[in-house]
């Protein structure tokens, strides 16, 4: 009997699956994927998100939109993203990208691929794994401190803008 009930439940869930998206509440972040025109660099398209979120939620949000939190793999990409942010009038803001060492301290990877970072643009002295209110810095963001969008590790729970990529 239990098996029959289980089978019916599985069947019900499976048949409901195609409709889950329609029924699912929208993310509480305001979807603004197209609020700023995307930037194309090679095969990548970057989408600035001008809503602030912690790193985890930013990651979820990009995934929910069929994208991923941005990867930056070369100086050219970093330069173009920097110009893109400034041209959008957001030069003073901080932006999460999709790198962290949450899995293993000191081993920074792109969370969407698991690949270690090859190109980096750390600010001098970063990543420094500071502790803020009991939380250690593990997530990477861009900031415009020296007009060159260097990278810094920061506690993942803080709210910053972010960049998705597809």
List of residues contacting Ca ion (CB under 5 A):
126, 128, 137, 152-153
Question: CB of residue 123 vs Ca ion: minimum separation in angstroms?
Answer: 8
Q: Residue 41 or residue 98: which is nearer to Ca ion going by CB? A: 98
In the bound state with Ca ion, the residue whose beta carbon lies nearer, of 84 and 143, is 143
User: Is the dihedral angle over the CA atoms 37, 41, 45, 50 positive or is it negative?
Assistant: negative
| Shortest Å distance, C-beta 143 to Ca ion | 10
* Cβ-proximal residue to Ca ion, closest one: 153
β-strand 131-132 against 139-143: which pairing, if any?
unpaired
- Please, what's the b/e burial string for 47-74 (b: 16 or more CB within 10 A of its CB; e: otherwise)? bbbebbbbbebbbebbebbebbbbbbee
Report the nearest approach of Ca ion to the CB of residue 125 (Å): 8
Closer to Ca ion by Cβ: residue 64 or 159: 159
Judged by beta carbon, residue 47 or residue 108, the one nearer Ca ion is 108
Alpha-carbon dihedral angle through residues 43, 77, 166, 108, given to the nearest 10 degrees? 120
Q: Residue 127 Cβ, how far from Ca ion at the closest point, in Å?
A: 6
């Amino acid at each position: 009997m239990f098996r029959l009930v289980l089978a019916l439940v599985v069947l019900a869930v499976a048949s409901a699956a195609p409709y889950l998206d329609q029924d699912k509440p929208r993310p509480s972040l305001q979807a603004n994927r197209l609020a700023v025109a995307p930037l194309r660099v090679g095969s990548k398209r970057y989408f600035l998100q001008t809503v602030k979120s912690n790193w985890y939620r930013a990651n979820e949000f990009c995934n929910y939109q069929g994208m991923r939190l941005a990867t930056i793999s070369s100086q050219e990409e970093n330069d173009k993203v920097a110009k893109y942010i400034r041209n959008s009038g957001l030069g003073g803001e901080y932006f999460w990208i999709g790198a962290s060492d949450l899995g293993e301290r000191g081993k920074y990877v792109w969370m969407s691929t698991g690949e270690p970072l090859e190109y980096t643009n750390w600010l001098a002295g970063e990543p420094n794994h500071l502790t803020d209110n009991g939380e250690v810095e593990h997530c990477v963001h861009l900031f415009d401190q020296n007009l060159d969008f260097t990278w810094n590790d920061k506690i993942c729970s803080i709210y910053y803008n972010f960049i998705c990529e597809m």
